[in-house]
Amino acid sequence: MTPAFLAAELYTGAAVAQQERHHYAGRLWHAVAAASVLAEGHVIAERLLELPLLLVRENGAVQAFLNRCPHRGMPFVDPEAGPQACRRLVCPYHGWTYDRRGRLLAAAREAEFLEPFDRSAWSLEALPCRELAGVIWVAAGERPLALEDQLDLVLRECPELLQRPRRLLRRTTVPLHCNWKVAHDNTLDDYHVAIAHPQTLHREQGPVRHYRHVVSAHASLLATPWGERGEFFTFGLAPWTHLLLWPDGRLALIQFPPQAVDRCSMDLWLLGDDGHGATADAWLAEMQRFLDEDRRLVEGTQQGYASGLRPGPPHRLERRILQQHQLYARLMDDRAP
Ligand code: FES
Ligand SMILES: [Fe+2]
């Protein structure tokens, strides 16, 4: 079969976005927080797609629950509040009280429910949650791929770099007027870098003739020589995630979670060790320069797609896009319950 990009209709149809939530996003793990933000005995509220999330660390391990009281749906913790110490989760509405493992300890006026009340039937709803590479990953559906499969190439190519201790140094989010796939494709696109980012990303990645590409079933890698010490790794990962790893231990995570069929956000996290703290502002400014160049490209491309484009032929430097398109098509076609 001739290799081809996904059809433009998949970037503009509202029904497609619904199907993606179930068949694509629902099968995958999502980076929801940096592990360093959640200390022992603390809780933080986050969002994952339409889901309100609660992340809790107890005895070193992180658990994810819905931040939604089983009684009438009230959140326990305000997402604006940031991480906070917590012994008990107390619902501000009618006072149902949970421990940090999601077990109901008490409900107000418990003897007066209309039916006999069984606390054990009203635990918090848990989601699959893992900590890996300094990041907390949560699955958004019931039949997720193995996280080790989703991150297969990262685990294979630089296992020791992933082990480095890191903390979150900076975090930004920017709204984009495009379908998430336009932004994801663009960040997988090694064909445009020399042309569209001559002073920014191209300097970091160096001459095209030195590009080293690796593709796996679930991910792709562009590795480029970096300094005396090794290679700069740019991983493209499902669902809409990019992991950049420098030999000096810095890690940047870029994600494009969808907001609507023609809108997504560009979330950027920068992680490093204490030594990188002093230069984090300069690092962030550098990243923002090329991401702002990309913002114009992706918002322009969305207009092309919305006007009925038939995409042109893929270039060899666009193979990383095709890899993610094939994974997307495979998951969207896998309609098993
Ligand atoms: S909604 Fe939480 S106790 Fe009623
Ligand atoms: Fe770009």
pLDDT in tens, 87-115: 999 999 999 999 999 999 999 999 999 99
How many percent of the chain have pLDDT more than 90? Answer: 94
Asked if the structure places residue 179 within a domain, the reply is yes
pLDDT tops 70 at residue 79:
yes
Residue identifier of the C-alpha nearest atom 4 of ligand 1: 94
Looking at the fold, whether 182 and 277 belong to one and the same domain comes out as yes
Amino acid symbol at 92: P
Radius of gyration of the chain (CA): 21
Of 78, 110, 129, the last residue of a domain is 129
Looking at the fold, whether 329 and 182 belong to one and the same domain comes out as yes
Looking at the fold, whether 168 and 286 belong to one and the same domain comes out as yes
User: Are the CB atoms for 57 and 41 separated by under 8 Å?
Assistant: yes
Looking at the fold, whether 216 and 291 belong to one and the same domain comes out as yes
pLDDT tens, residue by residue, 165-174: 999 999 999 9
Q: Mean pLDDT for the chain?
A: 95
pLDDT-based confidence at residue 337 (cuts at 50, 70, 90): very low
pLDDT tops 70 at residue 329:
yes
Looking at the fold, whether 177 and 307 belong to one and the same domain comes out as yes
Of 74, 105, 129, the last residue of a domain is 129
For residue 203, give its domain range. 8-26+164-333
d(CA 269, CA 274): 15
Looking at the fold, whether 54 and 125 belong to one and the same domain comes out as yes
pLDDT tens, residue by residue, 182-218: 999 999 999 999 999 999 999 999 999 999 999 999 9
* Pocket residues: Cβ below 6 A from ligand 1: 69, 71-72, 74, 91, 93-96
How confident is the model at residue 213, as a pLDDT? 98
Q: Which strand ranges, in their side-by-side order, compose the sheet holding 97-98?
A: 89-90, 97-98, 104-106
pLDDT tops 50 at residue 286:
yes
175 Cβ contact partners less than 8 Å away, ≥ 6 residues apart? 259, 263, 264, 265, 266
Of 84, 112, 129, the last residue of a domain is 129
Ligand 1 closest atom vs CA 74: 1
Asked if the structure places residue 61 within a domain, the reply is yes
CATH classification at residue 87? 2.102.10.10
pTM of this structure: 0.95
d(CA 290, CA 294): 6
Looking at the fold, whether 124 and 199 belong to one and the same domain comes out as no
To test ligand 1's pocket by mutation, which of 54, 96, 98 has the most ligand atoms within 8 angstroms of CB?
96
What's the maximum distance between 2 C-alpha atoms anywhere in the chain? Answer: 74
